[in-house]
């Protein structure tokens, strides 16, 4: 009904909104079936992602904590109030009592790119090796996928024992070859960051490998044959056939890798706990603020959450734009 009246008055001030609604009506009329099919997804995403996200953004502008939160069970009304940009000011000032933001940011970047670069390198090497026909290929594939099949917490605990400074296997080995004072891997130094990155690389390589292996198998064999006939060396074939053929898979793998690794919480939490400043990344610090302290500081945790999300959004946008400029669609 609105549609028909709107169409007549399309000229002049204030006409933009009715016209849009009119367009929407026609649009819905044409595609109602598709939208009906999509509604369950929209509802689920709305309930489990969108609402918590909006709530999180709102909380980052308040002074909410567990003594000001409303509690229907205890008949206590909410007592938190909006404090504007105070939380962002405190966090972004780099004040150590709000987590030394820039230090944590550097560690997060180190953690993310250290992990993703090696995920990709090792994954690529293993995928290329497994892509040829060799004896027992099935067995190798199963063995290489194993780290992924083992629950992450089991692997994390196993690594924690391996890295144990006093009774761990690594230090036992080092003592065995004559190192008198082997390092405290998970202690108060950057070695702890190194150790957790090693574990994360170990955990993440199988996924990259499988994804790249899929990409390799989709490269037509004729290209290699043609290259061989043209007299291309193995390296040339790799650089000019394999790598370009993998580009779209690589783009997705790297994008997902960065986003996931940026937000990996379990590995650090399980190996060095949440209170080692040397392995603090944005997401573990948000957890610390949320769960420790006599009053849990939900507001600062939410602020860290929003900052993390914003950084990932900026990264993703730039990354996709660069890819598009190179003529690739990641998805």
Partner 1 sequence: MQRSTFRIVVAAGAAIGLAALAGCGGSSTPAESDSGTVVFWDTSGPDETPVFSRIAQDCAQKGGYKVQVEQVPFAQAKNNFKTAAQGGQGPDVLRTDVGWVAELAKLGLLADLSDTDAAKDTGDYNSLAVASTKYDGKTYGVPQVIDTMGLYYNKKLLNAAGVAPPKTYDEIKAASAKLGGDKTIFINPGSYYALPFIYSAGADLVDPATKKITVSSPKAVEGLQAAKGLLDAKAARTSLDSANAYNNIEAAFKAGEVAMIVNGPWAYSGYLKAPSFSDKASLGVTAVPGPTGPGKAPQGGHDYTIRQGTKAKPSSLKFIQCMSSTESQVEVSKSLGLIPTRKTALDNADAKASGGVAAFGPLLDSNTQARPSVPEYSALIDGGGPLAPSYLALLGGTKDAKAAADEAAQAFGPLLPGYTSG
Note the residues at the interface with partner 1 (CB under 8 A).
20, 23-24, 27, 35, 39, 42-43, 46-47, 50-51, 54, 66-67, 69, 71-76, 96-98, 160-161, 163-168, 184-189, 271-277, 288, 291-297
CB of 136 to partner 1, least distance (A): 37
* Helix%, strand%, coil% for the chain, nearest 5: 70, 0, 25
Backbone angles phi, psi at 6, to 5 degrees: -65, -35
CB-nearer residue toward partner 1: 241 or 297: 297
- Can you tell me the distance from the alpha carbon of 198 to that of 159, in angstroms, rounded to the nearest whole number? 10
CB of 196 to partner 1, least distance (A): 11
- Can you tell me the distance from the alpha carbon of 139 to that of 186, in angstroms, rounded to the nearest whole number? 34
CB-nearer residue toward partner 1: 2 or 142: 2
CB of 121 to partner 1, least distance (A): 29
Contact partners, residue 281, CB within 8 Å, separation at least 6: 104, 107, 108, 111, 262, 268
- Can you tell me the distance from the alpha carbon of 211 to that of 68, in angstroms, rounded to the nearest whole number? 47
- Can you tell me the distance from the alpha carbon of 274 to that of 261, in angstroms, rounded to the nearest whole number? 17
CB of 181 to partner 1, least distance (A): 11
CB-nearer residue toward partner 1: 50 or 150: 50
CB of 269 to partner 1, least distance (A): 10
CB-nearer residue toward partner 1: 129 or 162: 162
Beta bridge partners of 76: 71
CB-CB contact of 116 with 123 (8 Å): no
CB-nearer residue toward partner 1: 2 or 51: 51
């Amino acid at each position: 009904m609105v549609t028909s009246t709107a169409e007549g008055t399309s000229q002049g001030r204030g006409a933009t909104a009715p016209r849009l609604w009119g367009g929407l009506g026609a649009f819905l009329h044409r595609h109602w079936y598709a939208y009906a099919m999509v509604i369950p997804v929209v509802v689920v995403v709305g309930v489990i992602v969108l609402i918590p996200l909006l709530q999180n953004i709102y909380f980052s502008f308040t002074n909410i904590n567990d003594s000001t939160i409303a509690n229907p069970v205890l008949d206590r009304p909410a007592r938190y109030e909006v404090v504007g940009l105070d939380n962002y000011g405190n966090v972004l000032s780099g004040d150590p009592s709000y987590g030394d933001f820039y230090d944590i940011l550097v560690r997060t970047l180190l953690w993310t790119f250290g992990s993703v670069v090696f995920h990709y390198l090792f994954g690529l090497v293993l995928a290329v090796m497994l892509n040829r026909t060799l004896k027992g290929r099935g067995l190798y594939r199963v063995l290489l996928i194993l780290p992924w099949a083992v629950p992450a917490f089991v692997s994390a605990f196993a690594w924690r024992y391996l890295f144990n400074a006093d009774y761990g296997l690594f230090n036992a080995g080092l003592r065995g070859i004559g190192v008198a004072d082997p390092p405290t891997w998970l202690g108060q130094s950057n070695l702890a960051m190194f150790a957790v990155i090693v574990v994360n690389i170990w955990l993440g390589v199988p996924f990259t490998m499988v994804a790249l292996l899929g990409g390799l198998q989709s490269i037509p064999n004729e290209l290699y044959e043609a290259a061989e006939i043209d007299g291309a060396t193995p390296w040339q074939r790799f650089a000019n056939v394999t790598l370009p053929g993998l580009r779209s898979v690589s783009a997705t793998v790297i994008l997902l890798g960065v986003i996931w690794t940026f937000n990996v919480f379990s590995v650090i939490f399980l190996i060095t706990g949440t209170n080692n400043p040397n392995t603090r990344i944005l997401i573990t610090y948000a957890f610390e603020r949320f769960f420790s302290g006599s009053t849990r500081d939900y507001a600062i945790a939410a602020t860290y959450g929003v900052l993390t999300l914003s950084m990932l959004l900026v990264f993703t946008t730039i990354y996709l734009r660069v890819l598009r400029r190179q003529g690739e669609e990641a998805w």
